[in-house]
Each structure stands twice: as structure tokens, then as C-alpha cells.
Chains A and B, each alone.
Chain A
């Protein structure tokens, strides 16, 4: 119960800080809009083309936006050296990490909620596509990115080139998840059946990396 309280307090505090400063949200929205709008200029808005490449385009935008949120997950603790305050406390590191996972996830999901309808309009996505399937894929895929990205954000916080290091660490690890997200989204945009296989892969990735992230939180959030 105490662990849940710590995770919830960390989650609520991070969201409060973000709503107050808008440091991640503004940058995320800007990057994501930029990618979607520029691609909409490059590709003609044909439903057939969207069915072929839309999944990839959508996840490029989500991934770019997500990297901003993930980078901020622990950078947020640098003003006032609050990271030291967290590490000084007896709070279980897994509870702190769980709160961070959740806040990164919600921030990414918030931007994706704005972006998905815009993508549908700009890329002429048919209203008849399996939207609930796309939404579930977005939720599972975003959790995969949030969990792995937040963990690597903690790992890179004390490095000099952390903004560069985070994508370098993150992207190779999330390749299986990215393939699953893109393929599952593609299946639903193309109305070409079900994506059970990709969902299972994505769900498995989520379970494994959430468990690993919590188990290894003590290592990455350790004192010097």
C-alpha cells in the first residue's frame, strides 16, 4: 500500500509539474505535428497509400514526440537537485520507477490522442477502419516505449550527452516493439484482418520490460 502511495505521488507530482511548466507537452506536440504535416505534404492523401505506409508514418511521429517526454522523465529532477532528494529517501526504487513509467505513458498518450484524429484527417483514413484495434495498438505500443524509455532516461541522466544517448540506448531495444506496433497498425489501416500475433508480441514485450524495469530499478536509481 505504501509502495502504491509512493508511485501515485510520483505520478501525480510529475503530471502537476508538466501541466505547470508545459516543457514536454509543447515540444512533443510541435515535433509530432511537424512530422505528420510534412509527411502529409509529401504523400498524396489517398486511402490506399495510407493503408500501405500509414502505420510507419504514425509511429515515426509518436516516437519522435515520445523521445521528448522520455528525456524529461528524469531531467525534471535536476532543478533543485530533487533527484538527490529521491535517492536519499527510503522509498522503494521500483515504486519511484512505476510512478515515472505511468507519468511518461500518460503524457505520451495525451499527445497521441490529439495526433491520431489529425492523422486520420490529413491522410484520409477511412472511417470504416477498425479504430478500436488501432487504439489498443497505440496503448500497448506507447506503454512499451514509456517503460523502456523511462528506464534508459534514468540510466543516462548523469551522462554528458544524455539527449543523444537516450535514443541510442532505446531504439535498438524497442525494435521488436516498434515492428509490432507498425505492423498491427498497418493491419487495421489496411482492413486486412486481425493483428493477434503482433498484439501478443507487443503484450509480451510490455510484460517483460515492465517487470525488468521494476526489478532493476534499484540498480539504475542507486547512489554513487
Chain B
């Protein structure tokens, strides 16, 4: 699959809506993001940040609306191959070592086992390889989880509260890693309750409130009909 072109929108959401039962967690969210940008996703608890990331990652399906990564709808095999998703949980099995977990994911993404070493180096987590995930600290686990996301060299990286419960040093390391990835052309959307953590790093801001997109800078907010506001 060709790499995304920087000038064209890489991630495109149109009128994205998701209901849980009768509760609308996300309502008519439309935006576009170009390739190679890092955007902060802000909003209070229950604003719909995690739901939006779930829909973009293909963990859940929208009730209505659409998500496209380049020319692929989200949730297809090709789109999954291009997406990395850092969830609240590490998605790593606690009884396996970091290397064993990553080797399994490498197989799932049809990557060579050497990708494990590369991904751990990207997150400065080389020393974690032999440790069991269940015995890792929160910061170590976050590094291992990020390495899982990077195993298949995704073009879109979705981060759900990546700085939660991390100490200052680990936050700094993670910020540096994200800057490097963004400079390498990766599109990154990171949700956080603390906008200061992405200050000077994020190229844009999206604010969700009660399931609606209240603000979208850099990514062009588009009208429900699909016409860009400019």
C-alpha cells in the first residue's frame, strides 16, 4: 500500500455517530487529518474520546457515518494493517514476556520476528524484552504496549490517554518518541485530559464535548454534507 501523501487528507471522518443502546456517545463528528501530524484530542470524561478512537481503530463500528484511511474504510484488513491503537489496557498477556507477546503480534501482522527488536528500540524498551508483562510497572507496560502498536509500522497511531499514570521521566521519553514518529510521517491522534502534556508537540487540537466535536484546528472541520469549512 502506498504511503499517504502529506498534502492530501489521510484520515477522513464523516458524520460519525455511535449509540450505546439509546445513549449517543458520539454525534455527527466530521473532520479530516493530513498525514504526518500529531493532534491532541481533548474533552472531559464521557465526551466520547475513547469511542471516537475505537471507531477509528475498527474496534467498534459506527452506528452511522464513515471513517476512511486514505482510500480504505476503517475496519478492513488493509486499514487494520495501517493502524496502531494504544488502548487503556496493554492488550498484552500478563503471563507472557514482552518479547513473547510482541512476537505473537508480529505473526498476526505478518511481520518478521526482527520487528520486535525494532519496535522495542523505538520505545526505548529494549530491556523489557525478557520481562513478564504482569510484573511490569505502569510506565514499562506503556512502553511495551506502544511497541506493540509500532510493530507493523502503522501510518495512523491512535493513543488513548497515553500519559495516564506515568512519571515525569517516562512522559518526557514518550513525548520524544511521539515527536520522532510524527517527524517520520506518522499521523498521530492522542487523547488526554492534560493538554499541557502535548503543548509544543501537537500540531492541532480537537475538542469533544458530550459526543460533539466543538473545536478542530489543523484538521479541517467539515460540514455534515461533507463540504470543508475552509
Contact = CB atoms under 8 A, between A and B. Distances in A.
Contacts, number: 79
A42 interface: no
Interface stretch (A80-88, A152-160, A168-176, A177-185): A80-88
Interface residues of A, number: 26
A90 B100 contact: no
B95 A20 contact: yes
Given A9-B108, A89-B80, A84 B100 contact: no
B133 interface: yes
Interface string A196-224: 00000000000000000000000000011
Which of B57, B61, B107, B148 has the most CB atoms of chain A within a 10 A radius of its CB? Answer: B107
A17 interface: yes
Interface residues of B, number: 31
Contacts of A81: 87, 89, 91
Interface in A82-113: 82, 84-92
Interface string B77-104: 1101101010101111111100010011
A89 B108 contact: yes
B108 A82 contact: no
A38 interface: no
B107 A9 contact: yes
Nearest to B77: A90
B96 A13 contact: yes
Interface string A12-32: 010011001100000000000
Chain A interface mostly: helix
A166 B117 CA distance: 40
Which of A8, A79, A85, A223 has the most CB atoms of chain B within a 10 A radius of its CB? Answer: A85
A5 interface: yes
Contacts of B80: 88-90
Interface string B94-127: 1110001001110111100000000000000000
B60 interface: yes
B80 to A, nearest CB: 4
A160 to B, nearest CB: 16
Contacts of A21: 95
Contacts of A6: 107-108, 110
Interface of A: 2, 5-6, 8-10, 13, 16-17, 20-21, 79-82, 84-92, 223-224
Given A2-B110, A80-B91, A88-B57, 6 more contacts: A9-B108, A16-B100, A79-B94, A80-B94, A81-B91, A85-B105
Q: List the 5 closest pairs (A to B, CB-CB), nearest first.
A: A85-B91, A9-B107, A81-B89, A89-B108, A90-B80
